């Protein structure tokens, strides 16, 4: 039995503890904002937070969540007012949008540890999040805007 929280709600899972957390979130809880992309942690579409750290749900076994807090894009902010979400909307970052939940979760984790990221910080932390549409310049601009919004009183 694996006990943990998902988006602030206590959960228990009594099944194959090696199952990727992504499938529990999508198939069991209906949290489909977290996307399946590659299945090998190479694209970042499945990025979620476990105890505040960005991880790839497609290769993270559900057992890794034991006793921890899992947060998906659905709970980044209940009202959609996280600085990352606001910046993404203001700069129209999404094109097809498929990768954007993972991009946003990775960006939120970056800003939680590095409130004023440099271009190098952004490159290093966002490296594993791929965008087929090539919106990287807008993603970088949105991260910088989100940092500025978060810094304002």
Distance CA 84, CA 132 (A): 20
Query: Cβ contacts of residue 114 below 8 Å, gap of 6+?
Result: 121, 125
**Same domain, residue pair 55 and 97:** no
**pLDDT for 18-70, tens place per residue?**
999 999 999 999 999 999 999 999 999 999 999 999 999 999 999 999 999 99
Q: Which two structure tokens, joined as six digits, stand for 80?
A: 């959609």
87-144 pLDDT tens trace: 999 999 999 999 999 999 999 999 999 999 999 999 999 999 999 999 999 999 999 9
CA distances from 49 to 22, 119, 128, 147 (A): 12, 22, 15, 19
122 and 61 in one domain? no
Do 100 and 63 lie in a common domain? no
Domain assignment of residue 142, given as a range: 83-151
- pTM of the predicted protein model: 0.95
> Cα–Cα distance between 80 and 96 in angstroms, integer?
19
Look at the chain and report how many structural domains it folds into. Answer: 2
Do residue 28 and residue 69 come from a single domain?
A: yes
């Amino acid at each position: 039995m694996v006990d943990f929280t998902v988006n602030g709600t206590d959960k228990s899972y009594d099944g194959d503890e090696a199952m990727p957390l992504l499938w529990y979130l999508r198939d069991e809880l209906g949290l489909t904002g977290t996307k399946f992309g590659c299945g090998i942690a190479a694209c970042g579409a499945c990025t979620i937070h476990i105890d505040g750290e960005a991880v790839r749900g497609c290769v993270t076994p559900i057992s890794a969540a034991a006793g921890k807090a899992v947060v998906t894009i659905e709970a980044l902010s209940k009202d959609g007012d996280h600085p990352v979400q606001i910046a993404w909307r203001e700069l129209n970052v999404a094109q097809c949008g498929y990768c954007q939940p993972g991009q946003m979760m990775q960006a939120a984790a970056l800003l939680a540890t590095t409130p004023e990221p440099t271009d190098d910080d952004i490159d290093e932390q966002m490296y594993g999040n791929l965008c087929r549409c090539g919106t990287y310049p807008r993603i970088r601009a949105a991260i910088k805007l989100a940092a500025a919004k978060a810094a304002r009183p």
